[in-house]
Chains A and B, each alone.
Chain A
Amino acid sequence: MNTVNFVTIPSSIVPDQEILVFGSRRLTYADLNDQVARLCAVFKQFGLAHGDVVALLDTNSDLYIECYYAAAKAGLVFLPLNYRAKDAELEYMINTAQTKALLVGDRYLELVNKIQSRLSANTIVAIGDAARGLPRLADLIAKADPDESEAEVEDEDISILMYTSGTTSLPKGVQLRFRDFTAYVTANVEMADGTDRGASLVCVPFYHIAGTTSYMTNIWTGRKLIVMPQFDARTWLDLVQRERVTHAFVVPTMMKQILDEPSFANSDLSSLTNLAYGGAAMPVQVIRRAIEVFPKRVGFVNAYGQTETTSSLTVLGPDDHRLEGTPEQIELKLKRLNSVGLPLPDVEIHVRDEDGNLLPAGQVGEIIIRTPRIMKGYAGRDDNARLLDGWRATGDLGWLDSGGYVFFAGRKDDMIIRGGENIAPAEIETVLMSHPAVDECAVIGVPSVEWGQTVKAFVVVRKGKTATEQELAEFCRSRLASFKRPERIEFIDTMPKNPLGKILRKDLRAPAGDV
């Protein structure tokens, strides 16, 4: 079905229900539906036709969501651009997607102005208050009549083209179909029917799959969506109190910032029942602290997924985060806090070796998955990693425990091969992170004439603590096999990360100035 129905159907049932909040703007379903219909008319005035790509470059807002649904209503492909991307990356994404129209927020007008002559888009529109010589979307919407039609779309038609974070290489354009989102949303939440489903705070960028599925599921199910333009710990805490937020999703770095925020202790978080996290590996120290200090009724959820699989594949649910029971049960729960939980009902997971053989519990191999919501493919590429019988190789390494819990062991591309021995960086990082002076760390392989690759660690020292290379090397010596010990340890001030908190290993590998 066309995903615009996630708005139009609830809008016909509960038109007066407040569903979207951004700053001082508060929209009912009817308001949202009307705005989407006007925007759809504007997109058609641009001359855009079925399957054309419309891109958006801005931080999160209510207008962002309206633009997605208007694009769906008109049968267009929506491209949410990473607003932290550099000029060349933006140009690459806009042009490889063959973007026809580009919508630009105030903050990015100057940047777009610089690269405009090299872009494929022949319609560029300002969506904020400023214009810089461009037409303003608000003026066009004001003059437009609502377009009540809805494009007929096939399940195979692409709805969103989403570029992956590119932690190891250039970003790849993931083609997600209308049917991928329909499968995800309708399988996981019930449609809005006027009952109180709470309020959800979204602070992850909409160019990320977690941000996108968040607005789709919440709007479909009638859970009021509170949108933050960008994350800020103090504002997050304020909004949870003010809007009586029940559900939220954060990435690990956000969780740490929330816990460190001085106003945390005085914040009323009693409305919060469900706090999910994902997007990058969560340091176990951080989640343990969160379990301790958030109100007891908060259910924590760790979600692991990929853009290519239309969001979550596995979840570690609230019960797994409640450190209660016999000493043995607690010990098992503590171990499983390092896991990403169990597969969702529509997901199958295997772990296999390089020859494709299934591996038993406890052995590290590549995670392969099967679900009805695997992407169509990558735009302009044929490396979609699709295997026989609908399985997909994720490129992620991991292992299963005896209960089927999935443990993540890093990216396959990050695997270090030293003298023929495979070394997963995550194993060394876990050891280093258990040292009291280590705040953050990342391990990579560096070229070596003798071994092919050797192990190098980058370490950020915790504030107020000190550590020497020798001390950390000694710490690793007693905890790791000899070939796994870092041969070099470099101290750095900050860890390079993408907006979701994933460590950018390519930046660590690249010589300075060549990133």
Chain B
Amino acid sequence: MANVLGKRYVCEKCGTEVLCNKAGAGGVECCDGEMKIKEAKPLPSSD
């Protein structure tokens, strides 16, 4: 899956998180596996 601007990717094995600040066609990998998108859980507040 192509990288998505502004998304955080997390390695489910070692816990590393990567932030994408320029999107491209490639995907990020860590510990021999594809890293998964970590969604923000929006606060229902002014923040």
In this assembly, does B36 line the interface, its C-beta being within 8 Å of a C-beta of chain A? no
Are B5 and A312 in contact, with the CB atoms below 8 A? no
Shortest Cβ gap from B43 to chain A (Å): 4
Interface centre among B5, B6, B8, B43 (most CB of A within 10 A): B43
A276 in contact with B46 given A186-B40, A187-B40, A188-B41 (CB within 8 Å): yes
In-complex Cβ contact of A188 among B6, B21, B22, B42 (8 A): B42
Are B5 and A186 in contact, with the CB atoms below 8 A? no
A contact residues around B47 at 8 Å (CB):
188-189, 213-214, 217-218, 249, 276, 311-312
In this assembly, does A485 line the interface, its C-beta being within 8 Å of a C-beta of chain B? no
In this assembly, does B31 line the interface, its C-beta being within 8 Å of a C-beta of chain A? no
Shortest Cβ gap from B40 to chain A (Å): 5
In-complex Cβ contact of A200 among B19, B42, B46 (8 A): B46
Are A12 and B21 in contact, with the CB atoms below 8 A? yes
Q: How far is the CA of A247 from the CA of B42 in the complex (A)?
A: 13
Are A301 and B41 in contact, with the CB atoms below 8 A? no
Q: How far is the CA of A192 from the CA of B5 in the complex (A)?
A: 9
Nearest-CB residue, chain B, relative to A1: B19
Are A301 and B6 in contact, with the CB atoms below 8 A? no
A contact residues around B41 at 8 Å (CB):
187-188, 344-345
A13 in contact with B43 given A191-B6, A192-B6, A193-B5 (CB within 8 Å): no
In this assembly, does A315 line the interface, its C-beta being within 8 Å of a C-beta of chain B? yes
Q: A315-331 CB contact bits vs B (8 Å, 1 = yes)?
A: 10110000000000000
In this assembly, does B44 line the interface, its C-beta being within 8 Å of a C-beta of chain A? yes
Q: How far is the CA of A190 from the CA of B7 in the complex (A)?
A: 7
Q: Which of A187-207 contact B (CB under 8 A)?
A: 187-193, 200, 202
Are A274 and B45 in contact, with the CB atoms below 8 A? yes
Q: How far is the CA of A214 from the CA of B45 in the complex (A)?
A: 10
Q: How far is the CA of A189 from the CA of B41 in the complex (A)?
A: 7
Shortest Cβ gap from B2 to chain A (Å): 15
Are A301 and B44 in contact, with the CB atoms below 8 A? yes
B contact residues around A13 at 8 Å (CB):
5-6, 21-22
Nearest-CB residue, chain A, relative to B45: A276
Shortest Cβ gap from A289 to chain B (Å): 20
Q: A261-293 CB contact bits vs B (8 Å, 1 = yes)?
A: 000000000000011100000000000000000
Are A189 and B46 in contact, with the CB atoms below 8 A? no
Q: Which of B4-36 contact A (CB under 8 A)?
A: 5-8, 19, 21-22
A contact residues around B22 at 8 Å (CB):
12-13
In this assembly, does A7 line the interface, its C-beta being within 8 Å of a C-beta of chain B? no
Number of interface residues of A (CB under 8 A): 34
In this assembly, does A124 line the interface, its C-beta being within 8 Å of a C-beta of chain B? no
A contact residues around B7 at 8 Å (CB):
190-191
Shortest Cβ gap from B19 to chain A (Å): 7
Nearest-CB residue, chain B, relative to A201: B46
A214 in contact with B46 given A13-B5, A190-B40 (CB within 8 Å): yes
Shortest Cβ gap from B28 to chain A (Å): 16
Q: How far is the CA of A122 from the CA of B4 in the complex (A)?
A: 47
In-complex Cβ contact of A186 among B8, B45, B46 (8 A): B8
Shortest Cβ gap from A393 to chain B (Å): 24
Shortest Cβ gap from A210 to chain B (Å): 8
In this assembly, does A365 line the interface, its C-beta being within 8 Å of a C-beta of chain B? no
Q: How far is the CA of A213 from the CA of B46 in the complex (A)?
A: 10
A315 in contact with B44 given A192-B6, A193-B6 (CB within 8 Å): yes
B contact residues around A274 at 8 Å (CB):
44-46
In-complex Cβ contact of B45 among A12, A190, A303 (8 A): A303
Q: How far is the CA of A299 from the CA of B19 in the complex (A)?
A: 30
A contact residues around B21 at 8 Å (CB):
9, 12-13, 191
Q: How far is the CA of A192 from the CA of B20 in the complex (A)?
A: 12
Q: How far is the CA of A274 from the CA of B45 in the complex (A)?
A: 7
In this assembly, does A248 line the interface, its C-beta being within 8 Å of a C-beta of chain B? yes
A contact residues around B44 at 8 Å (CB):
274, 276, 299, 301, 315, 317-318
Are B5 and A189 in contact, with the CB atoms below 8 A? no
Q: How far is the CA of A274 from the CA of B21 in the complex (A)?
A: 28
A191 in contact with B19 given A13-B5, A186-B40 (CB within 8 Å): yes
Nearest-CB residue, chain B, relative to A195: B6
In-complex Cβ contact of B43 among A12, A191, A312 (8 A): A312
A contact residues around B45 at 8 Å (CB):
249, 274, 276, 301, 303, 312, 315
A contact residues around B6 at 8 Å (CB):
13, 190-193
Q: Which of A16-47 contact B (CB under 8 A)?
A: none
Q: A295-312 CB contact bits vs B (8 Å, 1 = yes)?
A: 000010101000000011
Q: How far is the CA of A12 from the CA of B44 in the complex (A)?
A: 28
Nearest-CB residue, chain B, relative to A187: B40
Nearest-CB residue, chain B, relative to A194: B5
A contact residues around B19 at 8 Å (CB):
1, 9, 186, 191
Shortest Cβ gap from B12 to chain A (Å): 17
B residues with CB within 8 A of A: 5-8, 19, 21-22, 40-47
Task: Supply 14 A–B pairs (Cβ within 8 Å), ascending by A.
Answer: A9-B19, A186-B19, A187-B41, A188-B41, A189-B47, A190-B42, A193-B6, A217-B43, A247-B46, A249-B46, A315-B43, A317-B44, A318-B44, A344-B41
